Chains A and B, each alone.
Chain A
Amino acid sequence: MTLLISVFAAIIATIVWYKNAPKDTWKVGTLALMYWGASLMWMCDAIFEYAELKEEFFQPAAADMLNDAFLGLTVVALGLIIWLVVLLVKDPKGVLRAKLLAKKN
C-alpha cells in the first residue's frame, strides 16, 4: 500500500512537472524525483518480501493495509514538506529575498 501510494504520488508529480516543462519554477521536478527514488526503494523491499512470503504477500490483513495506507499518506506529506522547504530556501521567484531586503531598508 505504501509503495502504491508513493508510485501514484510520483506519477502525479511527474505529470505536473511535464505540464510546465521546460520551466520548473516550482521545483516540481525535485518532488517527482524524490517520490520516484522512494518508490524504487520500496519496490526493492516488496520484491524481497515477495521472495520470502510468496502468495501471502498479496493477501495482507485489513489492519496491516490500513496501517500501510496511513504510512503512505504520511510519507506523501513528508515529501511535500521537504519540497516546500527546498522551494522556500531556493526562493526561485525571489519573494522571500525581496521581503527580507524590504525589511532591512
Chain B
Amino acid sequence: MACFLVPATEAIVTTIAQKVLASKEKNMEIHHESGSSTVEKSHFSRKLGWLNNMLWGGSALLALEHVWHGEVVPWFPFLTAANDASSRSEMFHEMATVGVTMALLVTAAWVGMVVVSSRLEKRANKTAALVEETVKEDK
C-alpha cells in the first residue's frame, strides 16, 4: 500500500546526515601513513552512502511496484488507500509493520557491512604496522 514510504523517509534523513558528515570530514582528513604501505581509512560518510544507495534504490523500485498495482497514482492524494478511512487505517498498519521491518532489515544489513569493513581496515592497519616494524628492524 505505502510501505516503501518508511524506508524513503529514512533515506531522506540519512542523506542529510551524510551531506553534513561529508562537509565535516573534508576539514579533517584522516590518513594513516606507515612506511612503504599506506592504509587509508574509509570515511563514515562514504559508508553512510551505502545505506543511502540501498534505501533510495529499494524505495524507488518498490514505488514502481506500487504504481504497477495501482496503489500509487499521479493525482492527489497519490495513494489510493488514502481515499477512505478504513483503507487509510489499513495503510498505516502496513507502514507500521511491513514498512518499519523493511527499514530495520536494510539498516541491519548495512550495520553488518560497516562492521566487516571496519574489521578489514583494522586488520590492514595492523599488517601495515607490522611491515613498518620489520623494515625498521632490518635497517
Given contacts A33-B50, A41-B102, A45-B98, contact A75 B65 (CB under 8 A): yes
A window 1-49: CB within 8 A of B: 2, 6, 29-30, 33-45, 47-48
Mark contacts of B83-106 with chain A using CB atoms, 8 A cut-off: 1 yes-contact digit, 0 otherwise: 000000000000001100110011
Is B64's beta carbon under 8 Å from chain A? yes
Chain A interface helix/strand/loop/mixed: helix
Q: Does B109 sit at the interface, judged by CB under 8 A?
A: yes
Q: How many residues of A contact B (CB 8 A)?
A: 25
Closest B residue to A32 using CB positions:
B53
Q: Which residues of B contact A88 (CB under 8 A)?
A: none
CB <8 Å contact, B57 and A35: yes
Q: What's the Cα separation between A34 and B56 when bound, in Å?
A: 7
Q: Quick check: B102 and A44 within 8 Å, CB to CB?
A: yes
Question: Which of A39, A44, A45, A79 is most buried by chain B, counting CB atoms within 10 A of its CB?
Answer: A44
Which of A29, A36, A78, A79: most chain B CB closer than 10 A? A36
Q: How large is the interface on B (under 10, 10 to 19, 20 to 34, 35 or more residues)?
A: 20 to 34
- A40 with B105: in contact, given A75-B61, A75-B65, A78-B64 (CB under 8 Å)? yes
A53 and B64 CA atoms in complex are apart in Å by 24
Q: How far is the CA of A38 from the CA of B101 in the complex (A)?
A: 13
Residues of B within 8 A of A (CB): 3-4, 7, 50, 53-62, 64-65, 68, 97-98, 101-102, 105-106, 109
16 contacts between A and B (CB under 8 A): A2-B65, A29-B53, A30-B53, A36-B109, A40-B54, A40-B102, A41-B7, A43-B105, A44-B102, A45-B3, A47-B101, A48-B97, A71-B68, A74-B64, A75-B64, A78-B60
A→B interface (CB under 8 Å): 2, 6, 29-30, 33-45, 47-48, 71, 74-75, 78-79, 82
